[in-house]
A and B are shown apart, each in its own frame.
Chain A
Amino acid sequence: MTPAQRRAIFLIAMAGLAAFVIWGISGLPGFGRYPGPYGPAILKVAEGQTNATGIVSAVNFEYRGIDTVGEEFILFTAVVGMTVVLRKLRGEPERPAIEEARERAQPAGGAGVRAAALAFTGPTALIGWWLATHAQTGPSGGFQGGVVLATAFLLVYLGGEFLTFQRLSPVDMTDAAEAIGAGGFAAVGVTALVLGLPYMDNYLPLGKAPGAVSSSGTIALISFLVGIGVAAAFIQIAGELLEQTMLVREGGG
């Protein structure tokens, strides 16, 4: 099929899709006139029931907690899948990336990149930790915090230190952290069953004041566990891809 033919077929299909989408949109309530019952219902009760002032976190880690377990395991499965897809194939020439890195005389980035990356590593880790532990109070949570935490490790790599990146994130450690994050999340839910409550019920003390860091019971705990799991998952994803870059480079040159 030539690109012109491909484009023609695509445009015909898009005309159909456009008609369908416009028909669908015309049946929606206008922007800003959301009629759904769930949002307002949760907004009314969430703060009183959970002592969390971040209602999105309350939805994620409490009302929709069982969904979020699945979400956490989607990420987990993706990392496992990546590791399997990128495993060493038979007959593939392979030299560990760590040797490659050792032989590099000069770090990849310039001095400015290096300095900036190292200067931002500490603050980035702090912000990640803060986000992961403050889901109950504001617009943050384990997923966001975990990604920012993983970024702190990647900044070390950006500073030109693949060796340090690998030393900071050994596979055993990130494996364990991911298991603690994902398994801990599921375990928090199962503990509720052991206590004779529904799965993922909030059985920890809710704290006295809404919006305090110590408030909201299992919401804060789950968010923290998710933060650890997500950080480990993203460090592993990045580590796998970076290692591949080095192997491919070796094969090409």
Chain B
Amino acid sequence: MAYFPYLVAAWILACGLYGLATNRDLIHQIICLIVVQSSTYVMLLAAGYVTGGIAPYFSDVPGTPKAVDPVVQALALTDVVVEAAVTALLASFAIQAHKRFGTLDPQDLAEFKG
């Protein structure tokens, strides 16, 4: 059981990659990329967990009790922001592709390119 959360992250990664490889719609692929990125949240938070640790918020806790690592949690926040930025950009590329070629199928789009 000591490695179970890491395997969950790996499984989410595999699901996302499967979707990326097999889907034939740019919007679906963007969602699959979000799934891939979600695995990194699970991985980061699992890596920073300390058995018996509380969340690193001490407003109602006296002293400095054992808490989970705040650094990976801050990294997870960065991760979320980057994901939002990437998703927004990819969505606008998808819109532009659909406007120009009338399709969102990556295979058809590759044909248009020549």
- Residues of chain A at the chain B interface (Cβ within 8 Å): 3, 6-7, 10, 14, 17-18, 21-22, 25-26, 28, 30-34, 36, 38-40, 42-44, 46-47, 53-56, 58-60, 64, 67-68, 71, 74-75, 77-79, 81-82, 85-86, 89, 92, 137-139, 141, 143, 147, 210-211, 230, 234, 237, 240-241, 244, 248, 251
Contact = CB atoms under 8 A, between A and B. Distances in A.
Given A55-B57, A55-B67, A248-B99, A39 B72 contact: yes
17 contacts: A18-B10, A21-B10, A22-B10, A32-B49, A39-B70, A39-B72, A43-B67, A43-B70, A53-B57, A59-B70, A59-B71, A78-B89, A85-B96, A139-B55, A234-B84, A237-B84, A244-B95
B99 A138 contact: no
B94 to A, nearest CB: 10
Nearest to A84: B92
Contacts of B24: 3
Contacts of A54: 56-57, 59
Given A3-B22, A39-B69, A141-B77, 6 more contacts: A3-B24, A14-B18, A21-B10, A31-B6, A60-B74, A248-B95
Contacts of A26: 3
B47 A18 contact: no
What's the dominant secondary structure at chain A's contact region?
Answer: helix
> Top 5 A-B pairs ranked by shortest CB distance?
A39-B69, A30-B2, A78-B85, A32-B51, A55-B56
B96 A86 contact: yes
Given A43-B56, A71-B82, A85 B47 contact: no
Interface of B: 1-7, 10, 13-14, 17-18, 21-22, 24, 46-52, 55-59, 64, 67-74, 77-78, 80-82, 84-86, 88-89, 91-93, 95-96, 98-99
Contacts of A31: 1-6, 46, 49
Nearest to B51: A32
B58 A55 contact: yes
Contacts of A75: 81, 84-85
Nearest to B50: A34
Nearest to B74: A59
A20 B72 CA distance: 23
B77 A60 contact: yes
B67 A25 contact: no
Contacts of A18: 10, 14
B51 A33 contact: yes
A147 B100 CA distance: 31
Contact of A7 (B3, B21, B46, B86): B21
Contacts of A71: 78, 81-82
A25 B10 contact: yes
Contact of B64 (A3, A43, A77): A43
A43 B80 CA distance: 23
Contacts of B5: 31
